[in-house]
């Protein structure tokens, strides 16, 4: 049995707790929050045995095998570091932190302590995404030449909302753009050239952002993210011998369409249950059982490379969080 703790009590934490019930061998033992009332409400709703009024109290619970950190991302570094220093394995919600430097600090802390750490980039653990990577590796569409992906959300976010608060790491890029960037990285690796543009809000965060990755191989990735309108949330991967289309939402697909040159389109489907977070929990438990310090599906190197890309994009569009 893998004994889980959850640090934070917001919407994503709740969805993760729901999916944890679907994971064989998983048990939600404790929850921690900044207030006892919030922790107790969450524990009662999701069946956790203990509720703590601080991050430190949760991290000190020696009965926990791993803690899922689901705070707003401006608090990721401090919350995860608290758990790692207490010897707790950590599944840390994306984006890992606000920048590469603090992400490196977490990776270094985990390695020094010999404690498991993984970014909760659930897209990389999704069964269809993994199947897509297998098909591409087997040459189903030839060499990848183009990746297109978008993630735009509609919403009237007031100036005080976390999406517009610079001090909280607001803006579209870290919250939404991390998905298109991660998909391009998954399929093409680190680009040789990056060009970005954004409409920056009066609060100093990006509202609508376009990104182009260029590769010396000739491949390109055209990506976008925004919080000024709902985009299709789809992705398309083109190769020298065909194309794969991922439907909405591309980061949690239940199907994909494979277009091989000269053949009828093939639809590949899988039955997705729950909210889709159980796959990352299963990967954590698999790694812990095997004694691995990091996940081969979401290794530290990938997390740091994506964070470096996000830092570079922010520099180009003029967004900082200091």
Over residues 272-311, the pLDDT tens digits come to 889 999 999 999 999 999 999 999 999 999 999 999 999 9
Give 83-122 pLDDT, tens digit per residue.
Answer: 999 999 999 999 999 999 999 999 999 999 999 999 999 9
User: What's the mean pLDDT when you consider all of the chain?
Assistant: 96
Predicted confidence at residue 162, as pLDDT, reads 87
Predicted confidence at residue 160, as pLDDT, reads 81
Q: Is the pLDDT of residue 161 over 90?
A: no
Across the chain, the runs of DSSP E, i.e. the strands, are 2-7, 26-32, 50-52, 66-69, 89-93, 117-120, 144-152, 193-200, 206-214, 220-226, 235-239, 242-246, 255-260, 266-269
- The closest alpha carbon to 190, from 40, 302, 314, belongs to 302
- Measured distance CA(100)–CA(110) in Å, rounded: 15
**Cβ(292)–Cβ(277) under 8 Å?**
no
Give 201-238 pLDDT, tens digit per residue.
Answer: 999 999 999 999 999 999 999 999 999 999 999 999 99
Catalytic residues: 94
Predicted confidence at residue 234, as pLDDT, reads 98
Q: How far is CA 73 from CA 86, 119, 180, in A?
A: 20, 12, 18
Predicted confidence at residue 156, as pLDDT, reads 78
Question: Inter-axis angle of helices 11-20 and 278-290, to 10 degrees?
Answer: 60
Structure tokens at 137: 């590796």
- At residue 322 the predicted structure's pLDDT band, cuts being 50, 70 and 90, is confident
């Amino acid at each position: 049995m893998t004994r889980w703790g959850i640090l934070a009590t917001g919407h994503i934490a709740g969805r993760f707790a729901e999916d944890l019930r679907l994971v064989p061998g998983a048990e939600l033992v404790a929850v921690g929050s900044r207030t006892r009332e919030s922790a107790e409400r969450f524990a009662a709703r999701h069946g956790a045995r203990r509720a703590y009024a601080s991050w430190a109290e949760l991290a000190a619970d020696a009965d926990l095998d791993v803690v899922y950190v689901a705070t707003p991302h401006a608090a990721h570094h401090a919350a995860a570091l608290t758990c790692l220093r207490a010897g707790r394995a950590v599944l840390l919600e994306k984006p890992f932190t606000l920048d590469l430097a603090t992400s490196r600090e977490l990776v270094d802390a985990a390695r020094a302590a010999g404690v498991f750490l993984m970014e909760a980039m659930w897209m990389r653990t999704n069964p269809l995404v993994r199947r897509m990577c297998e098909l591409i590796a087997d040459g189903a569409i030839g060499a990848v030449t183009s990746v297109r992906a978008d993630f735009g959300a509609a919403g009237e976010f007031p100036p005080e909302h976390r999406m517009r608060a610079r001090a909280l790491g607001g803006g579209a890029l870290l919250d939404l753009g991390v998905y298109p960037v991660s998909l391009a990285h998954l399929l093409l690796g680190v680009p040789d050239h990056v060009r970005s543009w954004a409409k920056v809000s009066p609060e100093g965060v990006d509202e609508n952002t376009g990104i182009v990755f260029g590769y010396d191989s000739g491949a390109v990735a055209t990506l976008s993210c925004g919080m000024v309108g709902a985009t299709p949330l789809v992705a398309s991967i083109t190769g020298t011998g065909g194309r794969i289309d991922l439907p909405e939402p591309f980061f949690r697909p239940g199907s994909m369409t494979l277009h091989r040159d000269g053949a009828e389109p093939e639809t590949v489907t899988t039955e997705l249950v729950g909210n889709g977070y159980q796959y990352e929990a299963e990967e954590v438990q698999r790694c812990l059982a095997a004694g691995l310090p990091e996940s081969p599906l979401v290794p530290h190197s990938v997390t740091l490379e994506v964070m470096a890309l996000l830092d570079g994009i922010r520099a180009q569009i003029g967004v900082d969080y200091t």
